[in-house]
Copies of this chain bind each other. A is one copy, B any other.
Amino acid sequence: MGRWEPGARSRLRDAALALYLERGFEQTMVADIAERAGVTARTFFRHFADKREVLFDGSSELEEKSVAALEAAPATASALDAVAAALDAVAGVIGADREFARTRQTVIMVNADLRERELIKFASMSAALADRLRRRGIGDTEASLATETGTAVFRVAYERWLNATEERDLREVIRETLAQLRTLTAAG
């Protein structure tokens, strides 16, 4: 540890979220965030690769969790079921605090740069999961298809969960949405 107040990273995270919410992402300068956190702008970039990344802190750990959950799924499970297990793990983390998720989403949805970043996080997770499916012997196309579809289901369910009037379990919403997908594809 250094000589200064510890927890610079979390202070930066909080400051950024607050400022993005108060005045918008583009209107917030890195210098502002740093100032509120009591550090310099240079320090901000030592903790976060860029101005957006501060809103996605911990997403790599989340990806690891999802991969672990997929690998923990029984070998007999179908590709889609394995993916479902992975999504369940993610939902367990994200679904724990809906209020935080909502404010975070409020910030993200009004800015194209942030939406882009959110999308690539999902894509990255999808690619990681597909990779594990292939190691399980699942074919190339089937693996991609299962994870891409799975993350699509997650996104739709997530939005539904965020906007729901009553407090619900995200994992349950995901299961419902997946069931809905099955009817949708079966109907054709």
Interface assignment of A29: CB less than 8 Å from any CB of chain B:
no
Q: Which residues of B contact A119 (CB under 8 A)?
A: 116, 119-120, 123
Contact of A149 (CB < 8 Å), options: B115, B141, B149: B149
Given A117-B116, A141-B156, A182 contacting B185 (CB threshold 8 A): yes
Task: Map CB proximity to B onto A134-174 as digits: 1 under 8 Å, 0 otherwise.
Answer: 00000011101110110111011001100000000000000
Closest Cβ of chain B to A15, distance in Å, is 24
A81 interface hit (Cβ, 8 Å): yes
Tell me the A22-74 residues at the B interface (CB within 8 Å): none
Most B-side CB within 10 Å, residue of A140, A148, A153, A180: A148
CB distance from A45 to the nearest CB of B (A): 17
Q: If A182-B186, A184-B80, A184-B149 touch, does A141 touch B160 (CB 8 Å cutoff)? A: yes
A181 contacts B by Cβ under 8 Å: yes
Taking the full assembly, how many copies of this chain does it contain? Answer: 2
A188 interface contact, C-beta 8 A: yes
User: A102-127 CB contact bits vs B (8 Å, 1 = yes)?
Assistant: 00000000001001110110010000
Cβ of A10 < 8 Å from any Cβ of B?
A: no
Name the CB-closest residue of B to A154. B148
Tell me how far the C-beta of A161 lies from the nearest C-beta in chain B, rounded to whole angstroms. Answer: 11
7 A-B residue pairs with Cβ-Cβ distance under 8 Å, sorted by A, are: A78-B184, A78-B187, A81-B188, A144-B159, A145-B181, A148-B155, A149-B152
Additional A-B contact list (12), CB under 8 Å, known A115-B120, A141-B160, A149-B185: A81-B188, A116-B116, A116-B119, A141-B156, A141-B180, A142-B180, A145-B184, A146-B184, A148-B156, A149-B153, A151-B152, A182-B188
